[in-house]
Amino acid sequence: MARIVLKIDVDTLRGTREGVPNLARLLDKYHARATFLFSLGPDHTGWALRRVFRPGFLKKVSRTSVVEHYGIKTLMYGVLLPGPDIGRRAVAEMRAIHEAGFECGIHTWDHVYWQDNVRAGNREWTASQMQRSHARFVEIFGTPPVTHGAAGWQMNSYAFEQIDAWGMKYASDGRGHTPYIPVLDGRTLNHVQMPTTLPTLDEILGVDGVDVSNVAAHLLGLTSKQAHDQVFTLHAELEGQKLATVFEQLLAGWSAQGHSFCTMGDYHATLDRATLPTYPVAWGEIPGRAGELILQPD
């Protein structure tokens, strides 16, 4: 049928230490390839509580049981507890994933700090954040990262330019419908964007009667008769922990539908750049998620 690109965002220390190994075991069980994108600096998850006044945030929190999935301790990082350095505290778990043959890349340096500030960040701020994550990645894995997937699908023009400056051939920094070459201020960039195409679990849980008992069936319904490739973003904190059963249902279901699983790099290798469309870098909203994010135009 088609390929399902499994893109795993790892946001927190707990997600790295507990969710990542859990996901690796599930992926091995189904012989599924996947890309892990790591947060490499401090875990300041508690700072996200400042979003309480943003339109739609409280509604999302009530639907997705944030406390249950992330844990009280993680939600206190940066508020009542100091934010632990993920790249120092979870080196073993990260290296184990790389050594197991999974593709690894950069998610961010400081997840909440990036997500809340990057859109308005200047060149110096952006370069500082991205260079920190790049240096830490090389320190941990001994090799430069091959790809990037932005925290919260939040970027700015300097961040897109940095991906080119690093020489990365592909990234997945937004949402959309097909791989494309981004155009920034009229200039075509060098790398390919492979946007997330399927909704995430936290966007559809609690909406229109969808709950944990039927969310896998809902997503499988979106891919049951589709022959085109999909990029699915999952989270080590959700599918790697409380929603692991749901993810296993998805892996079994997609396998039964005849789909194969691949990394971002695997997917990029199948693309012919000369035939890819170009789209301007743009922002927009999607159902189930508060605020604007990088969104490929229709």
- When pLDDT is cut at 50, 70 and 90, the band that residue 44 belongs to is confident
Q: Which residues pair with 108 in a beta bridge?
A: 39
What pLDDT does 50 receive? 54
Encode pLDDT of 154-205 as tens digits.
999 999 999 999 999 999 999 999 999 999 999 999 999 999 999 999 999 9
Q: Which residue has the tokens 């919260």?
A: 152
* CA separation for the pair 190, 19 (Å, rounded): 33
Rounded CA gap, 98 and 104, in Å?
A: 6
Q: What is the largest CA-CA distance in the chain?
A: 52
pLDDT at 61 over 60: no
Tokens of 176: 């959309």
Parallel, antiparallel, or unpaired for β 278-280 and 181-184? Answer: parallel
Half-sphere exposure of 273 (CA within 13 A, CB side): 11
Q: How far apart are CA 256 and CA 248, in angstroms?
A: 12
pLDDT band at 67 (very low <50, low <70, confident <90, very high): very low
Query: pLDDT of 246-298, one tens digit each?
Result: 999 999 999 999 999 999 999 999 999 999 999 999 999 999 998 999 999 99
| Whole-prediction pTM | 0.91
Please say whether the beta carbons of 24 and 281 come within 8 A: no
Compute, in degrees rounded to 10, the torsion defined by CA atoms 228, 168, 247, 22: 160
**CATH T-level topology, domain 3-294:** TIM Barrel (3.20.20)
Cα–Cα dist 160/123, whole Å: 11
Express each pLDDT in 204-230 by its tens digit: 999 999 999 999 999 999 999 778 999
Q: Side-chain half-sphere of 144: how many Cα atoms within 13 Å? A: 9
Within a 10 A sphere around the Cβ of 225, how many other Cβ atoms? 8
